[in-house]
A = this chain, B = another copy of it.
């Protein structure tokens, strides 16, 4: 007996990156920030009165939305708080894409998108990036030809770390009649000198929805807190209709608010990650594991065929170092490596040097 909907019975679930119990594992596989959350977050945790958990949390997470809107220079009406960035992705699809309709993304991209499309019985059309991981010239034409209701772009891109300029997003949004969802899970690690700013676009483009998360930039992956930014008309149905009625909890709201109010602390970790990213990239390239420029907190290294990416992944795992191997087209000769702390990166490079016999 199967009681599932036919599309659920057919589909495969998402495989999360390994989460080892051992604290001794060097974990460079799921892009966590190597530095701890801010002292203000610790203070907010210490200030939680257990008796206050007896009551329901603010349903709209308004205190957080006020803090986030102050940070971004927008209105709380432009923000919906979610149980991690994942919830925003699901909510956006639930709200804007009917079963049978089409979502367009790039190939490769975040491997959760196909799963979410399956759950909603949507089509996911994946348009290939070019050989240098750039957007193909005919991406917009392809999306229109596919009758896309939504385009999802992860920017900076995962798993390559490439950044699209905001001007490109603005052009795409102008020419596209559906929702352009920009998944900015890794945006905090973009070099500030590039002046990337997509949030300003929401004033002109009612169809741009931006995903932000506290998981990476604010070192709070364990907390499950994210948010969406967009025109109030785009945010409203998620805020008042499709969201679970109390989707974020009291403690997470308090800690996320403290994190965004102490963004200067987080910003310092972003600077350190960028410095480590440069050094790690140099180290990997020196070992012959070619990696391109990344504006994220990970690097995509190409592993020579003589070694083999999957083999190297397993060898590293045997040395208690986890990186991410994707058994997917175009990625089977790559490893995605999270930028860790200086010490973690050094251990990784030393281990690689030994494994490669260099």
| Interface, chain A (partner B; CB < 8 A) | 1-6, 8-9, 11-14, 16-17, 19, 27, 30, 32-37, 41-42, 45, 48, 50-59, 83-84, 86-87, 90, 94-99, 112, 115, 119, 121, 178-179, 206-207, 215, 219-225, 233-234, 237, 240-242, 244-252, 255
Contacts and interface: CB of A to CB of B under 8 A. Distances in A.
A241 B32 contact: no
A37 B50 contact: yes
Contact of A50 (B13, B27, B45): B45
- Tell me how many chains of this kind the complex includes: 2
Contacts of A241: 8, 11-13, 115, 119
Given A19-B56, A54-B32, A55-B221, A179 B249 contact: no
A342 B112 CA distance: 50
Given A36-B51, A95-B8, A234 B3 contact: yes
A1 B207 CA distance: 9
B222 A249 contact: yes
B83 A54 contact: no
Nearest to A35: B54
A220 B13 contact: no
Given A36-B51, A115-B241, 7 more contacts: A3-B206, A19-B59, A83-B244, A86-B244, A223-B251, A225-B249, A251-B252
Contacts of A45: 45, 48, 50
Contact of A90 (B5, B58, B219, B244): B244
Contacts of A6: 98
Nearest to A240: B13
A96 B2 CA distance: 9
Given A59-B16, A119-B242, A249 B247 contact: no
A48 B255 CA distance: 13
